Amino acid sequence: MTASLEADFVIIGSGSAGSAMAYRLSEDGKHSVIVIEYGGSDFGPLIQMPSALSIPMNMARYDWGFSTEPEPHLGGRMLVTPRGKVLGGSSSINGMVYVRGHARDFDHWAEEGAAGWSYADVLPYFKRMEHSHGGEEGWRGTDGPLHIKRGPRLNPLYAAFADAGRQAGFELTDDYNGSKQEGFGPMEQTIHHGRRWSAANAYLRPALKRRNVSLVNGFARRIVIENQRAVGVEIVTRKQIQVVKARREVIIAASSINSPKLLMLSGIGPAAHLREHGIEVVADRPGVGQNLQDHMELYIQQEATQPITLYSVLNPFSKALIGARWLLFKSGLGATNHFEAAAFVRSKPGVDYPDIQYHFLPAAIRYDGKSAAKSHGFQAHVGPMRSKSRGAITLRSPDPWEKPQIRFNYMSHPDDWADFRHCIRLTREIFGQAAFDPFRGEEISPGSHVQSDEQLDDFIREHAESAFHPCGTCRMGRADDPKSVVDPECRVIGVDGLRVADSSIFPRITNGNLNGPSIMTGEKAADHILGRTPLAPSNQEPWINPRWQASDR
């Protein structure tokens, strides 16, 4: 073993949170930082070109290749669980949708024991990280590293979607990341000058230009712990085992799948489970790997009677033209993720903030780019935001190279079925509004014959998919709570010099896509790691629908 690699802070993972921490921990030049990343470069059009988003997600070169165990409530289907194995982590293979989460999500975190993470506490960090183009004044950051914009919304179907929401009686919102999340409006993208604006582009590249930051390409096997203190990381690099030493702290930012796996391989986790695999127990933390959550979604697809959808450009010739225009000018259909209209709505009276999310797309096509409908069409991705189902990440074996066992237990709570049926019926109601009259053909999926609860449940069982928002497996909470893995300063309970900061620490999943809250977690964790006084809490009050007790709209 050679131990030539050493820094004040060693970060495992160059993803959304890891890149943000590398940038902030090295900013004042006083500390050295090493970032360990197993994946390779994010260079090239497949990652940088926004409209190619479905390609890297399905490539072994960029993705860890995880999938779930057979899911018992989904007919035994095994669902893919993509996680980025590349510079920028999952921010380099995601859909580039930017959502902060709702104010109430973070207030719930604080109530669950994550003191200092209420909306008032995290809003200043969202502002610090953002460079918002066109967001609500006073609510958004305008000079942070993360560029956020709206799509051009040139296709008339985007406007039809928002108009239909209004006609159905729902709110409109100009900025769901501002004071008012609830309603129909434009969707925000992490795209800048026509390129994917990943955490690697926003944070890691600028950080790596500093003399005190270095990147080490290696596979993290375990955390080296001496006398209950983390002192380094054992990695495999160029077929050799090396230890990267941390003078101050080791920070795990390896995703909600790999972070709990690394903790368990290092002896931190449910004692009985670790002993079962012959791993010596360093800290008995029953919460490690538990509390796994995700968002699920369905595609509700409708034929379009006018030839205005993306169907007309799905042929090889058009794709080549789009690619050429993007390569030359970083503009055109290649420069957007095509998610340009969105909605957050409440499912019923008595729900005080949105619990359903819509992504709208002027095409009928799957996320993985396969099985496009054979005609012009449009679709809404819809799903409930706060499923009561919980799963777990467990070790398959003590071999670090073995993939962990992933069980989400999707749809294991009866309420999830009622919520999803409501999502389908609500989408049909929205697509049935006058705004869609000029465009609406037959329903492609589920199909108008699918009406009864049983028929809808069958459709859900066969077609519900992950929105790829796993989180919660190293839950943040009070240090005296046995289910907590990290305290509100992201310190692993029971081991010194070790923190976790990524989506695995979320006590409960937030509304919408998780890239934004993951970056915020890295931003805020950096202040805790440096021992700085956190940014002063905000006194801004978010909009809550005054009719929330009486109506869903």
CA atoms of 486 and 499, how far apart (whole Å): 7
530-533: long-range contacts (C-beta < 8 A, 24 or more apart)? 530/24, 530/25, 530/31
Question: Is 273 a catalytic site residue?
Answer: no
Is the pLDDT at 312 greater than 50, yes or no? yes
Q: Which of 73, 192, 469, 528 is catalytic?
A: 469
Residue type, 204: L
- Tell whether residue 27 is among the known ligand binding residues: yes
User: Is there a binding annotation on residue 95?
Assistant: yes
Per-residue pLDDT, averaged over 152-177, amounts to: 98
Distant-in-sequence, close-in-space partners of 211: CB < 8 Å, separation ≥ 6: none
The reply, when asked if residue 437 is annotated as ligand binding, is: no
Instruction: Give the rounded percent of residues in the chain with a pLDDT score beyond 90.
Output: 97
Tokens, residue 246? 């941390």
Inform me whether the pLDDT recorded for 297 exceeds 60.
Answer: yes
Average pLDDT over residues 397-411: 98
Q: Tell whether residue 97 is among the known ligand binding residues.
A: yes
Asked whether 58 and 174 are in contact (CB, 8 A), the reply is no
Q: Is 12 annotated as a binding residue?
A: yes
**Residue 367's pLDDT is what?**
65
- CA separation for the pair 201, 209 (Å, rounded): 12
The pLDDT mean for the chain works out to 97
Whether residue 157 contacts residue 145, with contact meaning beta carbons closer than 8 Å, is answered with: no
What's the token pair of residue 176?
Answer: 């769901």
Q: pLDDT > 70: what percent of the chain?
A: 99
Q: Is the peptide bond before 446 cis (omega within 30 degrees of 0)?
A: yes
Does 86 count as an annotated binding residue? yes
Q: What is the pLDDT of residue 179?
A: 98
Cα gap 226→187, rounded to integer Å: 48
CA dist., res. 231 & res. 175, Å (int): 44
* Residue for token pair 């805790």: 528
Domain spans, the chain = 1-149+190-294+470-533, 152-186+296-384+412-463
Nearest one of 526, 514, 410, 516 to 470, comparing CA atoms: 514
What does the pLDDT average to over 124-148?
A: 98
Q: Which residue has the tokens 């379009």?
A: 304
Is the distance from CB of 378 to CB of 309 less than 8 angstroms? yes
Residue 368: its pLDDT value, please? 67
- Four-CA torsion 362, 364, 367, 368, nearest 10 degrees: -130
Does position 1 have pLDDT exceeding 80, yes or no? no
CA-to-CA distance for 282 and 259, rounded, in angstroms? 16
To the question of whether residue 476 is assigned a binding role by annotation, the answer is no
495 annotated to a ligand binding site: no
Architecture category of domain 152-186+296-384+412-463 in CATH: 2-Layer Sandwich (3.30)
pLDDT at 371: 63
Residues 204-218 pLDDT 10s: 999 999 999 999 999
Categorise residue 418: left if φ over 0, alpha if ψ from -120 to 50, beta otherwise.
alpha
Residue 80 marked as a ligand binder: no
Written as one letter, the residue type at 309 is T
- Establish whether 18 is an annotated binding residue: yes
Q: What is the DSSP letter of 200?
A: I
16 is in an annotated binding site: yes
Do domains 1-149+190-294+470-533 and 152-186+296-384+412-463 share one topology? The answer is no
Of how many residues is the chain composed? 553
**Phi, psi dihedral angles at 68 (to 5 degrees):** -75, 165
Identify the CA nearest to 385 among candidates 105, 79, 82, 96: 105
Q: Reply yes or no on whether the pLDDT at 182 is more than 60.
A: yes
CA distance 203 to 193: 16
- What is the fold of 1-149+190-294+470-533? FAD/NAD(P)-binding domain (3.50.50)
| Residue spans of alpha helices (H) in 383-439 | 414-431
**Residue 227 pLDDT exceeds 60:** yes
